[in-house]
Structure 1
Amino acid sequence: MELYFLGTNAGVPSLERNVTSLALRLLDERRSFWLFDCGEGTQHQILRSPLKLSKLECIFITHLHGDHLFGLPGLLSSRAYQGGDTPLKLYGPPGLKQFVQMALDLSESRINYKLEILEHEGGRIFEDETFRVEAAKLDHRIPSYGYRVTEKDLPGKLDIDLLRRHGIEPGPLFGKLKKGESVTTPEGRIVHPAEVLGSPKPGRVVTILGDTRPCPAVVPLAEGADALVHEATFMHDLAETAFTYHHSTARQAAEAARQAGVKSLYLTHFSSRYKYEDQLQQLQREAQAVFPNAHLAREHELYPVKRGGE
C-alpha cells in the first residue's frame, strides 16, 4: 500500500504543481489502485507516472469544487483507450452523478466499460473481504468529505514445522488454512487454522481528507491511522484567511494529527503563494513543531504506508 500524489496545489494549477489528486496504490493487496479526487490535468499526471488506468478500480471524490473534479470527464472518457475495460466505481457527494452524466452526454462521450456512480452523505460506503471505507462530512463551503480506508487484518504466518509434523506439505492445503478453513491431514486428522497460524497482522488505516476547516469530524476519521493526508493551504500567520475560506493551516493539520494519534502526516493542497522550496519548508517546519512526523506531499513520489511494527 502506497500513496502517490498526482496534484498538491490548491485552487488552480501552478507552474510547480497540479491541482488535487491522489492515488492509493494497492498492487500487492488488490492488483489495482484507487484515486482520490481528480482535478484538471489528472490524466496527464497519470501518463507521467507508473500508474495504469487499466488498473483503476475506484474513484472517491471529496467534494464538487473544480480543483478536485474537473479532470474527471476527460479521465473517464479516455480510460478505455488505455486498456481500461474493467468496471469502475465512482463515489462522491450528491450532485456528482448529474455532473458526470451531463458532461458525458453533452460531449457524446461513449464509455465501453461499466461505470457505477454511488452518491453518499457519509457512513460506511464500501466494504468487501479486504477493505472497508467510511466517510464523514467536514467543514467547508460546500459539502466536503473525508475518507477512512481500513485494511482488514491479515492472517498470521503458518507454522511450517508444525504443519510438516502433521504430514502437511506446502500446497493447496496451506492456502485453505490461510483463508481460515480447516483441513484434513493424509492420516485423517482435522487441523484447524488456529492451531497452526500465528497472530493476525493488523490491517493498515489511511485517512484522506477533503478541504476543511478544523472540525470535530477529523479526529474520529483519523484516529490511530497509519497515514493522514490533510490539507495545509496556508501557514498559521494566515489563520484568519484560512478560516474565512474554509481551509486549514499547516499547524492546524499537525494538531489534528497529534490529537488523532496518527503515525504519519502528509501535508497537501498548498496555496499558490508558496511557490518556492524554502516557503514549502516553512509549512513543514510549522507542522513539525507540533507533530514531528509531518511530511510535505511531493508530486510523483511514492510514500509506503507501513504496517505497525514495520
Structure 2
Amino acid sequence: MQITFLGTSSGVPTRGRNVSSIAVRLPQRAEAWLLDCGEATQHQLLRSDVKISQITKIFVTHLHGDHIFGLPGLLASCGMAGNVSHIDLYGPSGLGEYLDACLRYSETRLSYSIKVHRVKEGLVWEDKEFYVMAAPLKHKVTAFGYRLVERDRAGKFDVNRAIAMNITPGPIFGELKQGKVITLADGRMINGKELCGEPQIGRKIAYCTDTIFCDSAVDLAQNADVLIHEATFAHQDSEMAFQRLHSTSTMAAQVALLANVKQLIMTHFSPRYAPGNAILLEDLVKEARMIFANTIPAHDFMTYDIAASMPIN
C-alpha cells in the first residue's frame, strides 16, 4: 500500500501546495483509491506516478470546495483514460446532487458508470481483502473520517513440509492454507495452521480532516500504521482553530498518541505558515513531535510506503 499526497494545503492552493487529495495505491489489485478531490487534482495526478485509469473509488470527507471542486473535471477525464469502466464515490449527503448538477449543466456525458454512496457511521464498504469504516468528525459541516483496513492474511504455506508428510498436492493444499483441520485418507488428522507461518497482519490507514480534536478521530485511528491528520494551525493559533473547527499541530499529535498509531503524517496546512512569516511549518512539526515523536509533515507528491514504513521521496 502506497500513499501519494496530491494536495496538502488548506482552503486555497499555494505555489507549492495544492488543495486536499490523497491517492492510496493497491499494487496487488492494480487499483488506486482517492481520499478527497480538491480543485486541480487531475493535474496533480498527471504529475505523479498514479494512473488515472486505475482509480476505482473516491472517498469524500465533506462538501467544502477545497475537497470536492476537482471531482467533475476528474470524472470527465477518466472517461478518456481508456480503461475506466466504473467508479464508486462515497461521501456525505448532498454529494450526488452536487455531481448531478455539475454534469448536467456542463452537459458532460460520462462513458462509464458511477455510483454515489451516502456515507453513514460504521462500515462503508468491504470485500475479501479490504474494508473501509467511517466515523463523524467535528467540523462546520457534516464530515467523516475514514479508516482503510487490509484484512489479516494467513501465513505462508510450507509446501515442502506438506509434501514431506506425504500429503498429496491438490485441492487439499488449498484447505490447509486456510488453516483448516483435514482428515486424510489414511486417517491422519492434519492441522493446516501447523503448516503455515505467522499470520500477516493487515495494514491500516486512518484519514481525519477537516476536524477539531474529537474522540471519534481517536477511535477511528486506533493502532493504525499511518494516521493522516489535518494540522491547519499552530498551537499558538488554537483560538482560531476552535473558531473554525480545525486542528492544531498539537491536536493532531494528541490523536496519534491516544490512538497508539505507528506514524503520524500531518497535512492541510494553512498558507499563513509559508516562508517569511513569524511561524513556519517547521515550528508546527516541532510542536507535534513534543507530543508524538513519529510525526512528519506531508508535501505535495510525497509518497509513503507503509510496508517500508518510510517516505520514498
After TM superposition, the score normalised by the length of structure 2 is 0.91
Change (3 A) 1:81 1:175: farther
Aligned pairs for 1:125-204 within 5 A: 125-167=124-166, 177-178=176-177, 193-204=192-203
Report how far residue 166 of structure 1 moved.
3.2
Report how far residue 182 of structure 1 moved.
7.7
Matched, 1:223 2:237: no
The alignment's C-alpha RMSD in Å is 2.3
Query: What residue in structure 2 maps to residue 293 of structure 1?
Result: 294
Aligned pairs for 1:2-13 within 5 A: 2-13=2-13
CA distance in 2 between counterparts of 1:154 and 1:71 reads 36
Report how far residue 86 of structure 1 moved.
2.3
Query: What residue in structure 1 maps to residue 235 of structure 2?
Result: 236
1:69-93 deviations in Å (ceiling 9; x for gaps): 0000000011021124222110000
Change (3 A) 1:46 1:190: farther
- Aligned-partner residue type, residue 13 of structure 2: P
Change (3 A) 1:171 1:269: farther
Report how far residue 3 of structure 1 moved.
1.0
Q: Does the aligned pair in 2 maintain the 1:94–1:121 contact within 8 Å?
A: no
Report how far residue 301 of structure 1 moved.
1.7
Query: What residue in structure 2 maps to residue 250 of structure 1?
Result: 249
CA distance in 2 between counterparts of 1:66 and 1:205 reads 27
Report how far residue 187 of structure 1 moved.
8.3
Q: Does the aligned pair in 1 maintain the 2:180–2:193 contact within 8 Å?
A: no
Change (3 A) 1:122 1:84: farther
Q: Does the aligned pair in 2 maintain the 1:138–1:144 contact within 8 Å?
A: yes
Could you tell me which runs of 5 or more consecutive residues in structure 2 were left unpaired when the two chains were aligned.
Answer: none
Query: What residue in structure 1 maps to residue 272 of structure 2?
Result: 273
Please identify, of 5-14 and 102-111, the stretch whose mean Cα deviation from structure 2 is larger. 102-111
1:200-250 deviations in Å (ceiling 9; x for gaps): 111111100120011121111011111000000010000000111110100
CA distance in 2 between counterparts of 1:81 and 1:173 reads 46
- SS of corresponding position for 1:13: coil
1:269-298 deviations in Å (ceiling 9; x for gaps): 000112239822111111111100001012
- SS of corresponding position for 2:79: helix
- SS of corresponding position for 1:303: strand
Report how far residue 95 of structure 1 moved.
0.2
Q: Does the aligned pair in 1 maintain the 2:54–2:84 contact within 8 Å?
A: no
Matched, 1:101 2:100: yes
- SS of corresponding position for 2:147: strand
CA distance in 1 between counterparts of 2:104 and 2:124 reads 27
After TM superposition, the score normalised by the length of structure 1 is 0.92
Q: Does the aligned pair in 2 maintain the 1:254–1:288 contact within 8 Å?
A: yes
CA distance in 1 between counterparts of 2:304 and 2:286 reads 19
Matched, 1:123 2:125: no
CA distance in 2 between counterparts of 1:275 and 1:171 reads 62
Please identify, of 34-43 and 179-188, the stretch whose mean Cα deviation from structure 2 is larger. 179-188
- Aligned-partner residue type, residue 12 of structure 1: V
Matched, 1:79 2:78: yes
- Aligned-partner residue type, residue 11 of structure 1: G
> What fraction of aligned residue pairs are identical, expressed as a percent?
44
- SS of corresponding position for 1:146: strand
Aligned pairs for 1:20-99 within 5 A: 20-28=20-28, 30-99=29-98
Q: Does the aligned pair in 2 maintain the 1:226–1:262 contact within 8 Å?
A: yes
- Aligned-partner residue type, residue 296 of structure 1: P
- SS of corresponding position for 1:51: coil
Report how far residue 122 of structure 1 moved.
1.8
Query: What residue in structure 2 maps to residue 305 of structure 1?
Result: 306
CA distance in 1 between counterparts of 2:26 and 2:100 reads 28
Alignment size in residue pairs = 307
1:107-155 deviations in Å (ceiling 9; x for gaps): 1111111211101222111011011111011110001110011111011
Change (3 A) 1:179 1:80: farther
- SS of corresponding position for 2:139: coil
CA distance in 1 between counterparts of 2:218 and 2:308 reads 20
